[in-house]
Amino acid sequence: MSASYILKRVVLIFYTLFVVSVLVFAITQILPADAAVMMLGENATTEALEALRQQMGLNDPVWMQYLHWAGGVLQGNFGISMRTGQPVGPALFSALGTSLTLAVLALVFMLMLAVPMGIIAAVRRGKVADLIVSFISYIGVSLPEFVTATLAVMLIADWWGLLPPAGYVPLSQDFWGGIERLILPIIVVSVMMIAHVSRMVRSELVDVMHTDYIRAARLKGLHPRRVLFRHGLRNALLPAITIVALDVGYLLGGVIVVEEIFSIPGIGRSLMSAIQARDLPVIQAGVMLMAATYSIVNFIADLMYAWLDKRIQYD
Amino acid sequence: MTAEASPVLAIRDYSLAYHVAERKAEVLKSVNLSIARGEILGLVGESGSGKSSLASAIMRYLPRNAEENSGDIFLGQTDLRAQSQRAMSDIRGSRISMVFQDPATSLNPTLRLGEQLAEVLIRHQGMSKAQAWREGEERLALVGLKTPAEMMHRFPHEVSGGEKQRVVIATAFACNPELIIFDEPTTALDVITARQILDLFTELQAKTGVASLYISHDLALLSQTAQRVAVLEKGTIVEEGETAALFRAPSHPYTRALIDAVPHPERSLAEASVNASSGPLVKIRDVSVHYGRKSLFDSLLRRDFKGVAGNRAISLDIRQGEILGIVGESGSGKSTLAKAMTGLNRFEGLIEFDGRPLRGLSDMNRDYRREVQIIFQNPDASLNPRQKISEILARPIKLYGSKGHATVRDRIEAMLERVRLPRSFIDRYPHQLSGGEKQRIAIARAFLSSPRLVICDEITSALDVSVQASVTELLMELHRETNATYVFITHDINLVRQIAHRIAVMYRGELVEVVDSKAITDPDRAPYTRELLAAVTPPASTRLDAILS
Amino acid sequence: MIDFLRRLLRTPQGILGCLIIAVVLIAVVAGGWVTPYGPEDMQALARYKAPSATHWLGTDQYGRDILSRLLDGARSTVAMAVLATFIGTLAGAVLGTGSAYLGGRADEFIMRTVDAVMAIPSLLLALLVVSLLGSNSWNALLAIAIAFAPSMARISRSVALTVRKQDYVSAAIARGEGAGYIVLREMLPNVIAPIVVEMTIRVSFAVMLFATLSFLGLGAQPPATDWGLMVSEARQYLHRSYWILLWPSAAIALTAIGFNLLGDGLRDALNPRT
């Protein structure tokens, strides 16, 4: 893997973040929110408002405000929250940490279920197991997170009382208690991904098992298990890396909803309250962090894929 | 004595059918075959003959919808049909093995070649990984690979087609099987590489005495490889016998038709030489084509961009009314030149058509487009699947205008007749036609504009031998009627010797030489030309001709 | 058309998809008139009722008939979702095919920018647009269309590039056909089919996204009968009657499944080679 291959992708990350920042900055400019009014209250004097606006640079032309903000971001300064008056950065990063815990656990859980499901469905194609998996997939991919969450809370928390319905405890504080409270959110957020990825794995594996080289392997008299695992899965799971990376976008969206329902203090929840309160700096920073997460995940996936698939040209 | 009497492979009265969409398609009907030890049996058949199904049936690797009758398939004393799948997997690879058509697809792209060879040794001979690896290296040396140890560690995409096929052959021979099935092993390879693989096969077979079932559509090839030949037509073995006898006096009409369809370089179909006194129709001067483009990223980093050269400074004349053949292996740039001439590729240099200079696509006006037509290799891709034949064939008429008072539909029907297709095809979609029929439509489309130059880009390569022959015949007929100039691009040397007046040889983007077809076998030809001819005109092809004359 | 419908009904997905969507479409078109009760008729004495002969799906916290509300809400949920997907697909298709046609640097630039926009999760992008424009159904529609456009652009471009490489397009260029004919008669018929399939499957995402926006309070507002809103409101009354929650959830899921199945069925029906 050459340096220029990696470099090209790193440059792309920066370009992506640049475009996202312009987009989100443009959007927040159009939002009818007057930062000064928000900070000083409705009854402040016009002079005080004007002074604050001057100080916050709100009267500067848009592109200057953008550069000012972007410069701050590059130095790690994300501004001051209009709602709380606290610096945006630290609070948001810690919220991001919480969300990432949820997301990573959900990803692991999803892989542990979706990949075997896809394999079983492919190997037992057309039989009962395949139909069951297909059925689950169709349903899973058609249930929005809020429906799954509400039903899950209703069944598992309220009726059967197996798990607590909401609330969050940091894992560092109480590991098992924290995990217990994360189980439902993890399941909810991964349902759609499980459905999608298992379908993908099945489809890829079925395609691979029909190739000439699999036929050649069987005709060499190799054990079916070896053919499946050593020859088949290697080639089928490779594209899955790319698909999972792309699905991270949906995952992050789902995280927003799940954090709302289960009251988890993650970045999704921060964004929701920021949007509702028109807290511009938080919105800007939050969207940037989400986009950055997605970009970095895809970057890692690209590298993994290139490392595993020897046919990629590294230029 | 008696050891020889028992055949290695014996198929008796075997029939096979597939259940497809509530119908039963009979694929093999009462097949009888036997192969003795050390014998090579050639099985010739076109697409749809059932030859691949026969191979699958012997290996007992049939799809779920297959239905077999009570016929026998015996490997020595073993009744293959009575074996369980597990027992069969012990037999496959060790007592029977197979060599496939396309080594690029029959090797796993993500595993090293060594592993794919060693795994049969581990599986069937109980070797350890280290032992199998060492044995594998020796086997690779036996198939003529120069650096076996290194080859073991390579991936398929890192080696050439010929090298890959050698590895596949080594794998097939690895456990010293009793029978090897070769399913068109040279079809996907270049002419010269194919010859090398064929020589390798002959050598190994003679050394090991393995019984071989050699499946091919290529009669000429089988005539010099196999001791006995069986002819398979639509699931039935119509004729079988010792090779020389079969070719000397074929009894079945299908066999005769197949033999006649083989292009004979000595029998030229082109009429007497073309009058070269009038200036050339097309002058190609120093035409070069480069592929690839500098990406945004490269521009930002100010990196140099080296394109891939498709053609390098080609200079060529094409004479009025002649048939110019262009031959070369894949990657030689022959199609690239054709695309440059029809404005599908950007090129540098000059093309002069009938005295008019052309330097690029913008110079190619409506008249030029009408007078210069191109027919592509794959009729599945060159006909828009969502257009009916009526629309496909109406385009040239609508674009270039119609002389006379015939309606568009009349003209289309007249052309359909001319290419020997029923008029009723006018309302069909391409997928309702066979490969040969689709190619005739493509030819009809080209000739509807009354062109002066027709470029045929490998138009027979994707077709069966007998279909090839009839399409070639049609082409020659149209040549006699219209006196259009042809540029006939192909990799089939025998075919081009048969129909072309002059032959241009290309190699890696460069023009090697242009000569009269009759002079192509002269000893003072360029080394590459001689190498190419040697690969295709093996002694037995002349043996075939000697038999026939 | 008849032939097309016959092809569509050959696969189990096609049959099931058609069936479900037909039911949904009837609800959308005729829903408003067929409702046994008005969607906003409150009956104080008939609150939290389970399904019965008089109220087939039961009643909600205000005594409103759930079936009526569902039928009424079909229009806002489904029709809006279809429209949003269509607009998003159109915008994406124009962008994608245009980019494919331009090729070269312009294509690279456009696609990298589209990729960058796709780094923002669709839900988040929709949330931003809705909060920008105000929370109502029409703004939610626009938000979803904007959120879908980038991915549809990518898909359209990919399909357009594949078609562009086919020999029949090369043959047309070699014949000297004009750009208009090539794009409209050679490329478009082969490009539309995969895009229509993709679009149909996307509608199910749009239905879910729409419902999610309403659920979060940023789409339709009470007392609208949007299904997502119904689920959101039902949460606090779970202990009184879970039917209020169940029916709109089932409706959302069923509609999404239906479009998914229909899309799969269309894929087979529109393939000219089968």
The mean-pLDDT minimum among A86-90, A111-115, A295-299, B470-474 falls in A86-90
Chain A residue numbers touching C252 (CB-CB < 8 A): 142-144, 147
For chain B, percent of residues with pLDDT exceeding 70: 91
- Chains that contact C by 3+ CB pairs under 8 Å? A, B
> What residues have CB less than 8 Å from A304, skipping those under 6 apart?
A241
- What pLDDT, on the 0 to 100 scale, is given for residue B79? 92
- What pLDDT, on the 0 to 100 scale, is given for residue B287? 86
Mean of pLDDT values over B40-54: 90
| Cross-chain CB nearest to B123 (options A216, A219, A222) | A222
**What is d(CA A11, CA A33) in angstroms, rounded to the nearest whole number?**
34
Check CB contact under 8 Å for C127 and A291. Answer: no
> What residues have CB less than 8 Å from A218, skipping those under 6 apart?
A224, A227, B61, B89, B92
Check CB contact under 8 Å for C174 and B395. Answer: no
**What is d(CA B498, CA B501) in angstroms, rounded to the nearest whole number?**
9
pLDDT of residue C173 exceeding 80? yes
Q: How confident is the model at residue B334 (pLDDT cuts 50, 70, 90)?
A: confident
Check CB contact under 8 Å for C109 and B296. Answer: yes
- What pLDDT, on the 0 to 100 scale, is given for residue A39? 60
Q: Which residues pair with B73 in a beta bridge?
A: B11
Residue numbers of C between 116 and 135 with CB closer than 8 Å to A: 116-124, 127-129, 131-132
Bridge pairing between strands B308-318 and B282-291:
antiparallel
Q: What are the backbone angles phi and psi of residue C194, rounded to the nearest 5°? A: -60, -35
Q: How confident is the model at residue B541 (pLDDT cuts 50, 70, 90)?
A: very low
pLDDT digits (tens, 9 = 90+) for A174-225: 777 778 888 888 999 999 999 999 988 998 999 999 899 999 999 999 999 9
Check CB contact under 8 Å for B399 and C176. Answer: yes
**What is d(CA B93, CA A220) in angstroms, rounded to the nearest whole number?**
4
Interhelix angle A175-209/A128-140, rounded to 10 degrees, is: 120
Mean per-residue pLDDT over chain B, rounded? 87
- How many residues are present in chain B? 549
Q: Is residue B358 within 8 Å of B442, Cβ to Cβ? A: no
Top-confidence residue, B98 or A261: B98
- What pLDDT, on the 0 to 100 scale, is given for residue C268? 81
pLDDT digits (tens, 9 = 90+) for B95-124: 999 999 999 999 999 899 999 999 999 999
> What residues have CB less than 8 Å from C16, skipping those under 6 apart?
C258, C261, C265
- What pLDDT, on the 0 to 100 scale, is given for residue A118? 93
For every residue of chain A, DSSP letters joined together read --HHHHHHHHHHHHHHHHHHHHHHHHHHHHS---HHHHHH-TTS-HHHHHHHHHHHTTTS-HHHHHHHHHHHHHTT---B-TTT-SBHHHHHHHHHHHHHHHHHHHHHHHHHHHHHHHHHHHHTTTSHHHHHHHHHHHHHTTS-HHHHHHHHIIIIIIIS--S-SS----TTT-HHHHHHHHHHHHHHHHHHHHHHHHHHHHHHHHHHHTSHHHHHHHHTT--HHHIIIIIIIHHHHHHHHHHHHHHHHHHHHHHHHHHHHHT--SHHHHHHHHHHHT-HHHHHHHHHHHHHHHHHHHHHHHHHHHHH-TT----
Distance from CA of B300 to the nearest CA of C (A): 12
Q: Which of B423, B421, B422, B391 is nearest to B408 (CA)?
A: B391
For chain C, percent of residues with pLDDT exceeding 90: 22
Q: Is residue B381 within 8 Å of C166, Cβ to Cβ? A: yes
Top-confidence residue, B163 or A85: B163
Distance from CA of A2 to the nearest CA of B (A): 14
- What pLDDT, on the 0 to 100 scale, is given for residue B458? 92
Q: How confident is the model at residue C235 (pLDDT cuts 50, 70, 90)?
A: confident
Chain B, nearest residue to A5 by Cα: B297
Q: How many CB pairs under 8 A join B and C?
A: 62
- What pLDDT, on the 0 to 100 scale, is given for residue A208? 92
Q: How confident is the model at residue A37 (pLDDT cuts 50, 70, 90)?
A: low
Judged by DSSP in three states, B70 sits in coil
Interhelix angle B408-418/B435-447, rounded to 10 degrees, is: 130
Q: Is residue C171 within 8 Å of C185, Cβ to Cβ? A: no
Chain B residue numbers touching A231 (CB-CB < 8 A): 108, 111
Mean of pLDDT values over A238-263: 89
pLDDT of residue C53 exceeding 70? yes
Q: Which residues pair with B216 in a beta bridge?
A: B44
Burial per residue of A75-97, b for 16 or more beta-carbon CB atoms within 10 angstroms, e otherwise: eeebbbbbbeeeebbebbeebbe
For chain C, percent of residues with pLDDT exceeding 70: 98
Check CB contact under 8 Å for A220 and B123. Answer: yes
* DSSP secondary structure letter of residue B542: H
Q: How confident is the model at residue B1 (pLDDT cuts 50, 70, 90)?
A: very low
Can you tell me which residue has the tokens 């046609």?
A: C101
pLDDT of residue C34 exceeding 80? no
Chain A residue numbers touching C208 (CB-CB < 8 A): 142-144
Distance from CA of C55 to the nearest CA of A (A): 23
**What is d(CA B308, CA B323) in angstroms, rounded to the nearest whole number?**
30
Check CB contact under 8 Å for B93 and A234. Answer: no
Judged by DSSP in three states, B98 sits in strand
**What is d(CA C62, CA C40) in angstroms, rounded to the nearest whole number?**
9
Tokens at residue C208, please?
């879910």
pLDDT digits (tens, 9 = 90+) for B56-85: 999 999 988 899 988 899 999 999 999 999
pLDDT of residue B376 exceeding 90? yes
pLDDT of residue A134 exceeding 50? yes
Chain B residue numbers touching C104 (CB-CB < 8 A): 293
Chain A residue numbers touching B120 (CB-CB < 8 A): 220-222
CB count within 10 Å of CB B178 equals 19
- What pLDDT, on the 0 to 100 scale, is given for residue B348? 87
pLDDT digits (tens, 9 = 90+) for B116-151: 999 999 999 999 999 999 999 999 999 999 999 999
| Cross-chain CB nearest to B378 (options C109, C167, C177) | C167
Judged by DSSP in three states, B67 sits in strand
Top-confidence residue, B464 or B130: B130
Mean of pLDDT values over B280-295: 79
Q: Does any CB of chain C come closer than 8 Å to the CB of residue B467?
A: no
Top-confidence residue, B383 or C164: B383
| Cross-chain CB nearest to A311 (options B61, B109, B120) | B109
Burial of B307 (0-12, 13-18, 19+ CB in 10 A): exposed
pLDDT of residue B307 exceeding 70? no
Burial per residue of C89-120, b for 16 or more beta-carbon CB atoms within 10 angstroms, e otherwise: bbbbbebbbbbbbeeeeebbebbbbbbbbbbb
Chain A, nearest residue to C108 by Cα: A12
Task: Tell me the residue type at A278.
Answer: R
| Cross-chain CB nearest to C124 (options A12, A158, A253) | A253
Top-confidence residue, C238 or B175: B175
Q: Does any CB of chain B come closer than 8 Å to the CB of residue C186?
A: yes
- What pLDDT, on the 0 to 100 scale, is given for residue B73? 93
- What pLDDT, on the 0 to 100 scale, is given for residue B90? 93
Tokens at residue B256, please?
């005769």
Residue numbers of B between 330 and 369 with CB closer than 8 Å to C: 339, 342-344, 364-366, 368-369
What is the ipTM for the molecules in this complex? Answer: 0.84
Tokens at residue A49, please?
């408002």
pLDDT of residue B2 exceeding 60? no
Check CB contact under 8 Å for B383 and C168. Answer: yes
Chain C residue numbers touching A271 (CB-CB < 8 A): 124, 127
Mean of pLDDT values over B342-360: 87
pLDDT digits (tens, 9 = 90+) for A42-73: 676 777 777 777 766 676 777 787 888 888 88
The mean-pLDDT minimum among A59-63, B51-55, B417-421, C86-90 falls in A59-63
First vs last C-alpha separation in chain A: 8
Chain A residue numbers touching B109 (CB-CB < 8 A): 213, 235, 310-311
Chain C, nearest residue to B375 by Cα: C171
- What pLDDT, on the 0 to 100 scale, is given for residue A315? 44
Mean of pLDDT values over A85-93: 84
pLDDT of residue C144 exceeding 70? yes
- What pLDDT, on the 0 to 100 scale, is given for residue A121? 92
pLDDT of residue B272 exceeding 70? no
| Cross-chain CB nearest to A147 (options C209, C253, C257) | C253
Mean of pLDDT values over C135-148: 88
Q: What are the backbone angles phi and psi of residue B48, rounded to the nearest 5°? A: 85, 0
Mean of pLDDT values over B38-44: 93
- What pLDDT, on the 0 to 100 scale, is given for residue B270? 67
- How many residues are present in chain C? 274
- Alpha carbon separation from A159 to A140, A153, C58, C240 (Å, rounded): 22, 9, 21, 13
Chain C, nearest residue to A295 by Cα: C119
Mean of pLDDT values over B239-260: 89
For every residue of B282-347, DSSP letters joined together read EEEEEEEEEE----HHHHHHT----PEEEEEEEEEEE-TT-EEEEE--TTSSHHHHHHHHTTSS--
Q: Does any CB of chain B come closer than 8 Å to the CB of residue A55?
A: no
Task: Tell me the residue type at B402.
Answer: S
For chain A, percent of residues with pLDDT exceeding 90: 32
**What is d(CA B308, CA C24) in angstroms, rounded to the nearest whole number?**
56
Q: How confident is the model at residue B546 (pLDDT cuts 50, 70, 90)?
A: low
**What is d(CA A241, CA B74) in angstroms, rounded to the nearest whole number?**
46
For every residue of chain C, DSSP letters joined together read -HHHHHHHTTSHHHHHHHHHHHHHHHHHHHHHHH-SS-TT---GGGTTPPS-SSSTT-B-TTS-BHHHHHHHHHIIIIIHHHHHHHHHHHHHHHHHHHHHHH-HHHHHHHHHHHHHHTTS-HHHHHHHHHHHH-SSHHHHHHHHHHHHHHHHHHHHHHHHHHHHTSHHHHHHHHHT--HHHIIIIIIHHHHHHHHHHHHHHHHHHHHHHHHHHHHTTSSS-TT---HHHHHHHHGGGTTT-THHHHHHHHHHHHHHHHHHHHHHHHHHHT-TT-
